[in-house]
Structure 1
């Protein structure tokens, strides 16, 4: 599952291997993967254009083109992007192929078929993809405990639901939200507006720790070049229902909150009261 660390790794790889190169051809194998414009126009907009920059907004990969337009790619749940020699075998799940000068191609694949692409002016992408409505980026230097406190202050919904609201915090996914709350010792069912200043500071440190750890290990998936990242998809609590908590051995709890699978330790993440002791491998609390 591609979350912010996985997407950020791909963006960094694209800066290294694709920026400065030109699209020689584009093949749309699954027309539904192109949000806009129409597939023929999408191909025409990219053919012959050079990539001049690669960036990320939440989980959107944004490739700036020499003509002032931008190619947006979103992996959704299980999308993937690989750089391969031109003419390589295309997996059955291949949606779009971007051929590059120099004898290589980018293959966008998704076993579920949900990954999407679009191209347009920055203003069009911002409006149609709702980029302008996204909250602050958790990896930006401007994301401070004060910013997080302001985002949570007026939210009367459970913490887990609020953290996954892209208008509150851009790009934090289900896995990393669960892990952040575990590191911070906060129950995911707590109301976001109920956090104290100290609890917000703990949560801020935990979010940054989880994301930066994922980046340092190059994510959980294979990168642009096919090299497997070293981060574990199932970490301390995420996806470990019934397994012992690494901190206290209490079985990990599971519940659907806001329609999303949620995992936490009922002992280390109390609804109220003093925070739990930090785990041996973390100094976040």
Structure 2
């Protein structure tokens, strides 16, 4: 599942292996994979432009290109980017192919077909993808317990749902939210306003620990070069319904909160 550790791993790989290289051309294999502009225009506009940088905003990958354009990619659930020899056979799940120099391709893949790309000026991309509405990034040094407390203040609903609200906290996904709340010992059904300062501090530390661990292990998916990450998709509670909690042995419980599968320990997370 493509969450912040997986996306950040790809961004760092792009900086090392793609930034500074020209895109000779692009081929859109699945028209729906391009949000905007229309696929023929997308292919024409991206051709001949050098990739100047690779950045991450929440789970969006932003690649500023020569000439004032920005290429944006979002993996959704299971998408990824692969740097491969142009002669290598394309996988059936390939959505878009960007031809680079040195006879290499940068390929956008997604077995579910949900991953998306977009192209426009930096301002157009930010506006149409609503990037300005995103909350602080959980991996940013400016994200402190005080910032988390401020973002949770006066928020209604279950804590799990609030943590997944990208306008509250950018990029935290379903898996890492469950793991963070387990590590902090906080019930996902709690109201955010009910958290004491020490609980907010524990939650803040847990979010950082979960994300940093995933990043250090290079995520749960393949990286830009096709090498599998070493992080476990099912860690302590996520998708481990009925299995013993690693901390106390209580069977892991499952419920749905605002339509999202949620996993927690009924004993450790009272």
Q: Normalising to structure 1: TM-score of the pair?
A: 0.94
The CA RMSD measured in Å over matched residues stands at: 0.6
Answer yes or no: is 1:56 the counterpart of 2:56: yes
Q: Deviations over 1:204-260 (max 9, x none)?
A: 000000000000101001100011111000000000000000000000010001100
Distance in 1 (alpha carbons) for counterparts of 2:103 and 2:20: 14
Q: Counterparts of 1:14-163 in structure 2 under 5 Å?
A: 14-163=14-163
Superposition deviation, residue 69 in structure 1: 1.1
Distance in 1 (alpha carbons) for counterparts of 2:214 and 2:22: 31
Answer yes or no: is 1:192 the counterpart of 2:192: yes
Q: Deviations over 1:139-162 (max 9, x none)?
A: 000100010000001101100000
Superposition deviation, residue 87 in structure 1: 2.9
Gaps of 5+ in 1: 271-285
The alignment covers a number of residue pairs equal to: 270
Counterpart position of 1:6: 6
Distance in 2 (alpha carbons) for counterparts of 1:71 and 1:82: 16
Distance in 2 (alpha carbons) for counterparts of 1:222 and 1:19: 19
Superposition deviation, residue 88 in structure 1: 1.8
Q: Deviations over 1:23-58 (max 9, x none)?
A: 001000011111001111111111000001000001
Distance in 1 (alpha carbons) for counterparts of 2:190 and 2:122: 38
Q: Deviations over 1:167-199 (max 9, x none)?
A: 000000000000000000000000011111111
Counterpart position of 2:178: 178
Distance in 1 (alpha carbons) for counterparts of 2:252 and 2:190: 17
Counterpart position of 2:224: 224
Runs of 4+ deviating beyond 6 Å: none
Distance in 1 (alpha carbons) for counterparts of 2:136 and 2:190: 22
Q: Counterparts of 1:246-261 in structure 2 under 5 Å?
A: 246-261=246-261
Q: Deviations over 1:65-124 (max 9, x none)?
A: 011110000010111210000132111111100000111001111111111000111111
Distance in 2 (alpha carbons) for counterparts of 1:150 and 1:157: 16
Distance in 2 (alpha carbons) for counterparts of 1:124 and 1:87: 35
Distance in 2 (alpha carbons) for counterparts of 1:103 and 1:61: 23
Superposition deviation, residue 64 in structure 1: 0.8
Q: Normalising to structure 2: TM-score of the pair?
A: 0.99
SS of equivalent residue, structure 1 residue 53: coil
Distance in 2 (alpha carbons) for counterparts of 1:88 and 1:115: 21
